[in-house]
Amino acid sequence: KVKHANKNGFAYYSDELYEGMKERVVNEKLLHKRLKEKSLLVYFQPKYRLADNTVSGMEALVRIKDDDDNIISPLSFIPVAEETGLIIELGNQVLDQSCALARQLLTEGNPIKIAVNVSASQFNDTRFTAIVADILLKHELPAKYLELEITESALIENINSANKTMRQLRKIGVSIALDDFGTGYSSLSYLRNFNFNVLKIDRSFVKDLDKDEQAQNIVMAIVTLARSLDLQIVCEGIETEHQLTFLKRIGCHEGQGFYFTQPLPYEQLKSRLYLPNDDA
Ligand code: C2E
Ligand code: MG
Ligand code: MG
Ligand code: MG
Question: Which residues of the chain have a pLDDT value below 70?
Answer: 1-13, 186-187, 279-280
Ligand 1 pocket member 258 (CB < 6 A): yes
Predicted local confidence at residue 9, as pLDDT: 56
Predicted local confidence at residue 6, as pLDDT: 57
149 Cα: distance to centroid of ligand 2 (angstroms)? 6
Predicted local confidence at residue 2, as pLDDT: 45
Q: Which ligand is nearest to the CA of 263?
A: 1
Predicted local confidence at residue 5, as pLDDT: 55
Neighbours of ion ligand 4 (CB under 5 A): 180
Predicted local confidence at residue 11, as pLDDT: 56
Protein residue with least CA distance to atom 45, ligand 1: 117
Predicted local confidence at residue 157, as pLDDT: 83
Predicted local confidence at residue 272, as pLDDT: 86
Predicted model pTM: 0.93
200 Cα: distance to centroid of ligand 3 (angstroms)? 7
Instruction: Return the HEC string of the chain.
Output: CCCCCCCCHHHHHHHHHHHHHHHHHHHHHHHHHHHHHCCCEEEEEEEEECCCCCEEEEEEEEEEECCCCCEECHHHHHHHHHHHCCHHHHHHHHHHHHHHHHHHHHHCCCCCCEEEECCHHHHCCCCHHHHHHHHHHHCCCCHHHEEEEECCHHHHCCHHHHHHHHHHHHHHCCEEEEEEECCCCCHHHHHHHCCCCEEEECHHHHHCCCCCHHHHHHHHHHHHHHHHCCCEEEECCCCCHHHHHHHHHCCCCEECCCCCCCCEEHHHHHHHCCCCCCCC
